[in-house]
Amino acid sequence: MTDERFMTHTRTAVSIANPANRIDFYATFLCDKRRLALLIQQYLAQYWPQEQ
């Protein structure tokens, strides 16, 4: 039963268009991986969908 519950054909996408909806992301990383973490952060900021 659990497998059926997560099948994509049993779900319907619903658009939630409300300016109050938002997601805050936080990340933790090792200090020596700071440069890589910054690259990922910049990529997400550039390509994340903007508010309309």
The reply to whether the predicted model has a pTM over 0.75 is no
Residue 8 is predicted with a pLDDT of 65
Alpha helix (H) ranges present in the chain? Answer: 2-5, 34-47
* Alpha carbons 44 and 34: distance in angstroms, whole number: 15
Which pLDDT belongs to residue 18? 73
In the chain, what percentage of residues exceed pLDDT 70? Answer: 73
CB atoms within 10 A of CB 3: 6
Of the given ranges (7-16, 18-27, 40-49), which has the lowest mean pLDDT? 7-16
- Residue type, position 27, single letter: A
Buried/exposed code over 31-47 (b: 16+ C-beta within 10 A; e: otherwise): eeeeeeeeeeeeeeeee
